[in-house]
């Protein structure tokens, strides 16, 4: 198989994986629905840079080193699980605060707060992806099975470009569609339920990942 066909296969597998529901998908749905298009795009930007980082670490072999050390990988799992649980708990807490203050008038956001939200959106997207242990394993498997040792430097660079651009394209399209005016009008009444569902998903995934990490550490010590 020549480099062109390898890159084509890489793009196809990655595109299918991107469309699979997971923390990244839920994060875009929640934020684009609640905060609008710009926030959704910045979330997409952060997620795509997380994927780019995973791709670079996998190509250089760093991710494989981490994965083959049970304690190191368990620590990544704990960090990722804790962050997802934090996102879930924060969402549920925010829902409770909104319900508690539902009869009070809402204050308009200032420009400085809006700019801060953009930075937070990028950071949230990046951290959600980079701390996802399943993403680490996926890219190790993808790179090790498709990219041979003799792959050219230009081919590896093109692989990184493909993985990043497809990631940003998919999540940006998702954010764009979810934040269209017509869909926003329909989703506005369901926003609280979307937040609750995403908050529950993040919390559950975080706790499950943390539990498996603790089991891994326990088994490695006996």
Q: Which pLDDT belongs to residue 140?
A: 87
107: pLDDT strictly greater than 60: no
Tens of pLDDT, residue by residue over 78-88, are: 888 888 888 88
Residue 105 belongs to a domain: no
Residue 122 belongs to a domain: yes
Place of tokens 């196809």: 12
Residue 164 belongs to a domain: yes
Q: What does the alpha-carbon distance between residue 115 and residue 176 come to, in Å, rounded to a whole number?
A: 19
DSSP state of 103: T
113: pLDDT strictly greater than 50: no
Q: Decide: 155 and 1 in contact? Cβ < 8 Å.
A: no
Residue 80, domain extent: 3-15+22-100+111-220
Whole-angstrom CA distances from 102 to 57, 61, 96, 99, 106 are: 46, 51, 10, 5, 9
Number of domains in the chain: 1
Residue 11 belongs to a domain: yes
Please state the rounded mean pLDDT for residues 184-196.
Answer: 70
Q: Could you tell me the two tokens for 112?
A: 């400085």
| Average per-residue pLDDT for the chain | 83
Residue 58 belongs to a domain: yes
- Across the chain, the runs of DSSP E, i.e. the strands, are none
Counting DSSP H helices and E strands in the chain, the numbers are: 10, 0
156: pLDDT strictly greater than 80: yes
Residue 106 belongs to a domain: no
């Amino acid at each position: 198989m020549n480099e062109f066909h390898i890159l084509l296969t890489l793009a196809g597998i990655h595109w299918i994986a991107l469309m699979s529901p997971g923390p990244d998908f839920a994060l875009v749905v929640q934020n684009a629905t609640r905060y609008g298009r710009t926030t959704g795009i910045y979330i997409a930007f952060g997620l795509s840079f997380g994927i780019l980082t995973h791709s670079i670490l996998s190509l250089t072999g760093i991710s494989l080193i981490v994965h083959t050390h049970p304690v190191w990988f368990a620590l990544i799992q704990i960090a990722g699980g804790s962050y997802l649980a934090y996102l879930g708990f924060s969402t549920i807490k925010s829902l409770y605060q909104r319900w508690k203050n539902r009869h009070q008038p809402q204050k308009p956001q200032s420009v400085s707060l809006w700019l801060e939200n953009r930075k937070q959106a990028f950071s949230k997207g990046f951290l959600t992806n980079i701390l996802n242990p399943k993403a680490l394993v996926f890219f190790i498997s993808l790179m090790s099975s498709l990219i041979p040792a003799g792959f050219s430097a230009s081919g590896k660079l093109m692989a990184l470009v493909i993985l990043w651009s497809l990631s940003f394209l998919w999540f940006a399209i998702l954010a764009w569609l979810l934040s269209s005016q017509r869909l926003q009008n329909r989703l506005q009444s369901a926003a609280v339920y979307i937040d609750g569902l995403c908050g529950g998903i993040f919390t559950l995934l975080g706790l499950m990942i943390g539990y498996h990490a603790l089991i891994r550490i326990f088994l490695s010590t006996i």
